[in-house]
Amino acid sequence: MGEFELIRNYFAAAPCAQPGEGVALGIGDDCALLAVAAGEQLAISTDTLVAGVHFPDGCDPFLLGQRALGVSASDLAAMGAKPLAFTLALTLPDVSAHWLQAFARGLNEMAQGCAMRLIGGDTTRGPLSLTLSVFGSVPAGLALTRGGARPGDLLCVGGPLGDAAGALPLVLNQRSTEASTTQALLARYWSPQPQLALGQALRGKATSALDISDGLLADCGHIALASGVRLLVERDKVPMSDPLLAFFGPEAALDAALSGGDDYRLAFTLPPSLLAELLGEGWPVCVIGRAVEGQGVVLIDEQGQDVTPSTRGYQHFRETR
């Protein structure tokens, strides 16, 4: 099967590749064309996922399709952008109809859940890797960024942390547990749900934001650096799920929540006066600390003592996941 037949059979015909809002021209030409409304800005992000680094070799292609787009779309949520479209550059060691069918189904399921259209990409031969570029729109001047946090702001996250990191021993077949716990943790790893609606609700309210991919403490460091503030994370306020606590126990669960990564929930700073409004509207806002004068990120206990662990998160080229 040639490259163009592969694209035509498995991707161009998918429901997520059909014409839709914001897409003036999709797959089939040298470039796609996006139509952004007047007064809107285009938000763009690119992620590469490599077999053996970001996902295990031989994993379920349906789940991989879901995960690949979910983690990429999370960057749009972090900016408060409305999703429009995405491209896929797919490098394959060989062509397998079974693998491609399952992968395309998973990709399409996540795309339709995020209201995104596949508008192009590339295919080539080589070690398995995926590069996705996502496109969204946001009203000019309302994009959420990492800079802007101010002393006195609350530090918040969009829900329990650590589940995806807790799932790694299950993903790698190193441990097993009851089905109810297994399913809950694996779902957070293989099918991360980007917090797109929350990101849009935070426009004009949050002073800074990002999505947690490499670990809470590591990623909050980006906000602290860009904003020129010190972020205090209160250890006892970090939210964790019952399945994670049951599977890992309190101490290991906390480590996963603080530095495990792969959460793809939003972390953001918020003026205290706006908290009640967001909670009243039903948004998942968990206050875990505050911004103060200074720099860096510090984990504190109930007495306010510094208990920051040495490992804060994952960095490429420094360690192996």
Q: Assess whether pLDDT exceeds 50 at residue 320.
A: no
Q: What is the pLDDT of residue 317?
A: 41
Are residues 198 and 266 in contact, defined by beta-carbon separation less than 8 angstroms?
A: yes
Query: Higher-confidence residue: 8 or 208?
Result: 208
Q: What is the pLDDT of residue 175?
A: 81
The mean per-residue pLDDT over the stretch 197-226 comes to 97
Q: What is the pLDDT of residue 1?
A: 62
> What's this model's pTM, rounded to 2 decimal places?
0.92
The mean per-residue pLDDT over the stretch 286-297 comes to 98
Weakest mean pLDDT among 13-22, 91-100, 220-229, 273-282:
13-22
DSSP string of 8-76, one letter each residue: IIIIITSGGGS--TTEEE-BTBSS-EE-PPTTEEEEEEEEEEEBTTTB-TT--HHHHHHHHHHHHHHHH
Work out the percent of the chain whose per-residue pLDDT is above 70.
96
The mean per-residue pLDDT over the stretch 104-117 comes to 96
Q: What is the pLDDT of residue 31?
A: 93
The mean per-residue pLDDT over the stretch 234-240 comes to 98
Q: Assess whether pLDDT exceeds 80 at residue 306.
A: yes
Whole-number average pLDDT of the chain: 93
What are phi and psi for residue 64, nearest 5 degrees?
-65, -40
Q: Assess whether pLDDT exceeds 90 at residue 28.
A: no
Q: Assess whether pLDDT exceeds 50 at residue 58.
A: yes
pLDDT range class, residue 95, cuts 50, 70, 90? confident
Domains assigned to the chain = 3-139 (3.30.1330.10), 154-300 (3.90.650.10)
Distances 137 to 45, 81, 108, 167 between C-alpha atoms, Å: 12, 5, 21, 33
Q: Assess whether pLDDT exceeds 60 at residue 231.
A: yes
Collapsing DSSP states into helix, strand and coil, what is residue 234? strand
Q: What is the pLDDT of residue 313?
A: 64
Q: What is the pLDDT of residue 199?
A: 98
Q: What is the pLDDT of residue 316?
A: 47
- How many CA atoms, within 13 angstroms, populate the side-chain half-sphere of residue 221? 16
78 vs 146: CA distance, rounded Å:
9
Q: What is the pLDDT of residue 321?
A: 41
Query: Higher-confidence residue: 310 or 43?
Result: 43
Distances 186 to 179, 192, 314 between C-alpha atoms, Å: 10, 10, 20
